[in-house]
Every structure is written in structure tokens, then in C-alpha cells.
Structure 1
Amino acid sequence: MKNWKYKRLSECSNFISERTSNITIDNYISTENMIENRGGVKIASTLPDVKSTSAYKPNDILLSNIRPYFCKIWFADKKGSCSNDVLVVRAKKEIDPKFLYYVLSDQNFFNWDSITSKGTKMPRGTPNAIMKYSVPDIPLRTQQKIASILSAYDNLIQNYKKQIEALQTAASELYKEWFVRFRFPGYKNSRFENGIPEGWKIERIGNIGEVIGGGTPSTENEEYWDGDIPWLSPVDLSDNTNVYVSRGGKNITKLGLQKSSAKMMPKDTVLLSSRAPVGYVALAKNPICTNQGFKSVVCNTSVIQPIYLYFYFRMNKNYLQSIASGATFPELSGSMMKKLKVLLPQMELQKEFSKKANIFISKAELLSEQITNLTQQRDLLLPRLMRGALEVH
């Protein structure tokens, strides 16, 4: 295998320029609902106001053509539509489509795509350069074996993600049952005043916690980056597989924290993305910094439980998005956040909910750790398989 030969991507695949008018929430793919770091895709939040878009079919490979360093790629398992900023790659007959997907999932490919991209603020991949990328020219049977090995990891990761989603749904349903439908323990003996249970009240966010924004250290100063302080941007929560988050895509240094408007959020801060897009939410598992795309809440725990507020934001995501202002980048300002009203149940009930919700959350965290381990193993294995460093039997 050390003597593998290579051929250009153009010799084994084509860019597809087919069009379709079948544009639905379930099948539309844009750079916004493609998840970075090979995370696949999620359901689109909006659809384009056009009659037709680019089309894709099962076994096609979709690549985000904006900011290639985000490593957004998806192996299509259905037919659908996609934006013009998504490249559709279709394998020719002599190459296994899933193997080609893993070739293009290799970090070496994204490095190539980034190096050959054009533009500074919003770099775009260059199709001609992409098609010059080197693909291992190996027997179809070997391609299929490599694809099978790597697919085993991805299938297990997807299985764990579905289990986590089920656990999160169970916790969300418990929240809705108690605090939306008002079927909480003892509800039959409760009295209601002005539409809410007696003893509950409605408070503004500014009265139950501290609203904190963030900032980004200068990316031009190397002394501010690659430190020990986790730094989070909204995109880091786009595929958040758990309630808690412990790290972001990057780390900053103590100097970066001191010399910028970045703020350190303490453990259990409710992290809410307030800009592009609005509504991603998580709890800080440890002290963490966020960029300016957040308006987060450090809860007064004598009044409100962080897990309760987390689910409150999660259940009201559409409302939060609807009140954001701004044409280009809709945003929730600090003043808007402080004025937001929250239904505040009695503390005993909040604590009981938190205890029950934590049962689901703890199980999800264990699965999330497994996903991290499997992802790391796959990403270490992938480049070695692509350069023939491992024997495949």
C-alpha cells in the first residue's frame, strides 16, 4: 500500500449543476445548516425565495464552498435541494461514493481547499483547484473496505446522537408537562391566579441574574490564542449534543482575555447565542469565554435554577428569534435580554425538576463522551488509511 498511485479528483468525480424546484425544509441544504467539523447537516431554519435551486441525489457529496476551514461536508442519504454556495460532487462508476466522501473528509483535503481558496473575510473554495486534489487510485474492493471501517465509527456516532436526542426530548417533555401544561406534582390541589399557579410569578431576566456579553481577542495577535481558556462562538453550539458545553473550537490566553472585551463566564452560566443565529443555548460546565455573539445569564440561584432557565430558553427559541432586531444580522441586545420576562415557579419545584432533568442529562453526557472518543479515533485513523499507512484486510 505504500506504493499507492494517485489521480485527480476530476478523473473520478464531477461537479453537478442539475436544478430542482422541490425545495422543502426537510431537504434543503445551505452553508448555514451544514455543521462544521464533518458534523453533517441539520434541518434548515429558512428557505430561499426562489423557484429552483441546485439539486442533489443519494450518494452525492455536498461541500460548503464558503470558509472551507469550517470543514463542512455531508454524504447525502436522500435527494433534495441546496444553495449555490454548496458544491455537489458525484462519484464516477470506478470509485466507491462513500470512499470518496472519506477522501474529502480528510483534514488534508480541507487544508488544500483553504490554501487554494480566494477572498479574505469570506474565502471561497476554487472549483478548479478542488478538482486537482489527489485521490488514491486503488482497487474498488480496497476502497469499500476502507469505507466500511470508517462507516462503523460514523454509524455508532449517529446512534449515540439519536440516543442523546431522545434523552433531551424526554427532559424537554418533562419541562413542558410541568411548566407549560401545568401538570406539575400537586397541580390538582393548586389554585390559579391570572392564568398561572398561585405562588408563581413573572420576572424580568435583569432581576434574576446578570446578563453578560462577550468579545473576540484580535486574531492578528498570536499571543492571544492557543492558550488554556476555552473560547466559544455560536457555531460551536450548532451541533451541541448535550445540555452542557466545556470547550469551544478555540482557546485563548490570559493575555487575550486581559487585552480584549472577552468575558469569563462562570460554571453553570446559561449561554445564549444572541446573533447569527439567535437561540443556541447551553450551560457552561466550567469557566468559559464567549465572543460577541452571546448574551448569557449568570443566574441568581436563590431565585432561579440554571437548568430551568436553560429549558425555558430552549422552549422559547422561536420567540427569541422573532424579537431579534436588525436586517443583516438579527440580534438580541443586552437591554432586550434584561427586559425579557420569565415565568418563575416556586424554588422547591425548580429544584425537583432540576434533579429529574439531571438524570437524563447525565446519561446524555456519558454518550457525548463516547462520541468525542469515537470521533477522535476516527479522525486519527482516516488520514492513515488515506495514505496507505495501514494494511486493510
Structure 2
Amino acid sequence: MTDWHDDILENCLEILLDYRGKSPPKASVGIPVLSAKVVKTSGLLQPIEQKIAFDYYAKWMVRGLPHVGDVVMTTEGPMGEVIQLTEETVQYALGQRIVCLRGKSGILDNTFLRYLLSSPSQQNILEGYSTGTTVPGISQKALRSLPISYPPFDTQRQIGTLLSSLDDKIDLNRRTNETLEAMARALFRDWFVDFGPTRAKMAGEAPYLSPELWELFPAMLDNEGKPEGWHISSIGDETDIVGGSTPSTSNPIFWNGDHYWATPKSLFGNSLKCDS
């Protein structure tokens, strides 16, 4: 990284908006307020309950207005959570224990700054410049003198674009998983709680599942309100639970290649690698 530059944060910033101090007066309806309670590197915590009145926004935001792409960082309780303002969040008010940062044009790219501040190495530096033991925090003076390292501006933009695209992919996968989980819960409830297919058959409604699935559901409910032929049992009555130790090598059923068994080391995220 011979082409990286070392400097202090203040020399690379066009603006630093610090709205620490007293909290703005709360309103039941109005403009959401960004504070250390809701600003998280993983994403804003929703819903944002703290709001200020619409007509109070101009009175409160007198230290300067943020721009789209500016970086917001928490300075205390907790310290070092980082987000980047979007078309929506740039309209929010800035509240307690946060600062808004904007890099100098051609010197420090905002998206690169976002990822730089949230990186483990910069978080360690940030912690070293903080004060307080129970609730660590950083003063504006210390923040301005924070040492940073950065590559040429074009390289910063490439890094920011790459990391942003990865974050977008992660967010898309997360939302896709949430949708799939919701669909799975809805299916489970319809099939095994509400017994929807059976009730639909009783009502003479058209099938809404594939034929092979539709045939699995009885056409009537019994006196207990469950599909005919179904019974209630416990998982222990229907399965054999084996665990606690590695299968003995003297037992060929686990070692002849016909059966697989799993250990904690077999777990890799959402995948499973089994031994045989």
C-alpha cells in the first residue's frame, strides 16, 4: 500500500456537523431523528420513535444540513456505528451523540469513508482515541485528530463501489430470506394449524396445491377438529435421538460408507459437511 496516504481526519473533511448536546424536543408526529439509539452499521433500527415537529426542523438544524452520501457516525452509547445518508434519511433530523461527516471533493470519498470508519482496524484506532470506561465516547477534538490512511481518490471510489454492491447483495439476500421464511410460516400454518386444504375440500373449493400435495390431505375433519387419520404425538415417540459422542469404530453401520453422521465441525454457515 505504498500509494496510500496517512493524514488526520480533519484535513480530509469538507464538513463535520456535530449536534451533540441537548436533545431536540420530542413530538408525537413529525420528522424522524437520527440518534445513537437507531444508527447501526448493520442498518437503521426501525421504527424510529423519536421525532421533532415539522415546523421545528429549521430551528433545530442551524449548524448545517446534511447531503445525500454524507456519513453519520455515533460518538457514544455506543460509539463507532456508521451509516451513509440516502435520499430518504438525509431528510431526517440529526440528534444526540452523532456526527455527520463529508469528505473533501477529490480527497476523501464518502462511501470509502463509511467503510473505512467501520473497518476493524479503524475501529481499534477509534477506541484508542476514546474516553470513558463504562460508556466509551469520543470528543470532537479527538475525532478531528483521528489518524486515517487512504489510497488515491479513484481507488477509493472503486473500493466503495465494490463494497456497496456486496452490501446490496447481502441486503437483497436477507430480504429474500425474510420473504421465504414468511411464506414457509404461512404454509405451515395453513397446512398444519388451520388445515386449510382439508377445509377447502369440505367446502368444495378448487384445489390450490399441486395434485400430488392435494391428495395428501384428507377430505374431512374428525371430531377433534383435525384431518381424519391424523394423530397427535410427541417427537420423542416418532424418532430415535442419538448424540453425545462419535460413533464407535466397532459399529460398521456408521463406517461402511452407507451412512453419514455430523459433528459440530461439520457446520459451515447454512451448509452441512458430513463424515462417513
Quick check: 1:29–1:44 contact (8 Å CA) kept in 2? no
Letter in 2 for 1:58: V
For the residue of structure 2 that corresponds to 1:159, the secondary structure is helix
Using a 3 Å threshold, how does the CA distance of structure 1 residues 33 and 168 change in structure 2: closer, same or farther? farther
TM-score with structure 1 setting the length: 0.42
Equivalent residue, structure 2, for 1:15: 16
1:157 paired residue number: 170
Q: Percent identity?
A: 20
Residue 187 of structure 1: aligned partner? 199
State the match for 2:2 in structure 1: 2
* Aligned pairs for 1:85-124 within 5 A: 85-94=97-106, 95-124=108-137
Tell me what 2:71 maps to: 61
Distance 2:188 2:52 in 1: 36
Quickly say closer, same or farther: Cα 1:183–1:136, change in 2 above 3 A: same
Q: 1:45-56 residue pairs with structure 2 within 5 A?
A: 45-48=48-51, 51-52=56-57, 56=66
Counterpart Cα distance in 1 of 2:35 and 2:196: 41
Alpha-carbon deviation of 1:173?
A: 3.7
Which runs of 4 or more aligned residues in structure 1 lie more than 6 Å from their structure 2 counterparts after TM superposition?
none
Partner in structure 1 of residue 86 of structure 2: 77
AA of the residue aligned to 1:80: Q
User: Residues 117 and 67 (structure 1 numbering): CA distance in 2 closer, same or farther, change over 3 Å?
Assistant: farther
* Count of paired positions: 198
List aligned pairs for 1:277-288, cutoff 5 A: none
Assess if the C-alpha contact under 8 Å between 1:31 and 1:85 holds in 2.
Answer: yes
Change (3 A) 1:115 1:369: farther
C-alpha separation between the residues in 2 aligned to 1:4 and 1:45? 39
Asked whether the equivalents of residues 38 and 45 of structure 2 are also in contact (C-alpha less than 8 Å), the reply is: yes
User: Cα RMSD between the aligned structures?
Assistant: 4.0
Which structure has the bigger radius of gyration? 2
Structure 2 unaligned regions, length at least 5? 204-221, 226-232, 236-266, 272-276
Amino acid at match of 1:141: D
* Cα distance between partner residues in 1 of 2:112 and 2:158: 9
How far residue 48 of structure 1 moved from its aligned partner, in angstroms, is 4.0
- C-alpha deviation, 1:62, in angstroms: 1.5
- 1:83 and 1:131 map into 2 onto residues whose CA distance is 19
Counterpart of 2:161 in structure 1 is: 148
- Counterpart-to-counterpart distance in 1, 2:191 and 2:67: 43
Q: Which residue in 1 is equivalent to 2:208?
A: none
2:234 equivalent in structure 1? 302
Q: Which amino acid aligns with 1:103?
A: L
Q: TM-score, normalising length from structure 2?
A: 0.57
Q: Which residue of 2 aligns with 1:170?
A: 183
Matches within 5 A, 1:1-393: 1-2=1-2, 4-13=4-13, 14-17=15-18, 23-24=30-31, 28-35=33-40, 38-48=41-51, 51-52=56-57, 56-68=66-78, 71-78=80-87, 79-81=90-92, 82-94=94-106, 95-136=108-149, 138-174=151-187, 182=194, 184-188=196-200, 189=202, 199=224, 302=234, 369=270
Give the unaligned 5+ runs of structure 1: 191-196, 201-300, 304-364, 371-393
SS at match of 1:16: strand
The structure that is strand-richer by fraction is 1
